[in-house]
Amino acid sequence: QVQLVESGGGLVQAGGSLSLSCAASGRTFSINAYAMGWFRQAPGKEREFVAAIRSGGSTVYADSVKGRFAISRDNTKNLVFLRMNSLKPEDTAIYYCAARWNGISVSTSAYDYWGQGTQVTVSS
């Protein structure tokens, strides 16, 4: 019974920056028990891994965003963030926040809970 809500999406020019937030909630939810991830899906494309972070703070990034994006978390507030720099038009997608109980993963199917997504559009 976990809910994830993304926010912060919008329209930016290529080369610009944008920060996304994910707020997690639930009666018995504690973000400390979960690895958190960001995924994205463009029209007509499969949902793909972007970044993930363990409870302790170690991170994993997709090659396509490495060096440009940064995932972070605030366990005391059940929040996860994605800072996106040097944005490219190919970053345009709906970005989803996800939570996985049993450790970190780069696989979409491995995550237990998903948010509704927030649209990020990067103009050329």
* Interval 65-110: pLDDT, tens: 999 999 999 999 999 999 999 999 999 999 999 999 988 999 999 9
pLDDT for position 95: 98
Reported as a pLDDT band with limits 50, 70 and 90, residue 27 is confident
Query: Cα–Cα–Cα angle for 72, 43, 66, nearest 5°?
Result: 30
**Would you give the end-to-end CA distance of the chain in angstroms?**
40
Query: Cα–Cα–Cα angle for 101, 103, 107, nearest 5°?
Result: 95
pLDDT for position 8: 97
Whether residue 50 contacts residue 103, with contact meaning beta carbons closer than 8 Å, is answered with no
pLDDT for position 29: 77
pLDDT for position 86: 98
Q: What average pLDDT does the chain have?
A: 95
Name the β-bridge partners of 16: none
pLDDT at 20 over 90: yes
Whether residue 5 contacts residue 23, with contact meaning beta carbons closer than 8 Å, is answered with yes
pLDDT at 1 over 80: no
Reported as a pLDDT band with limits 50, 70 and 90, residue 30 is confident
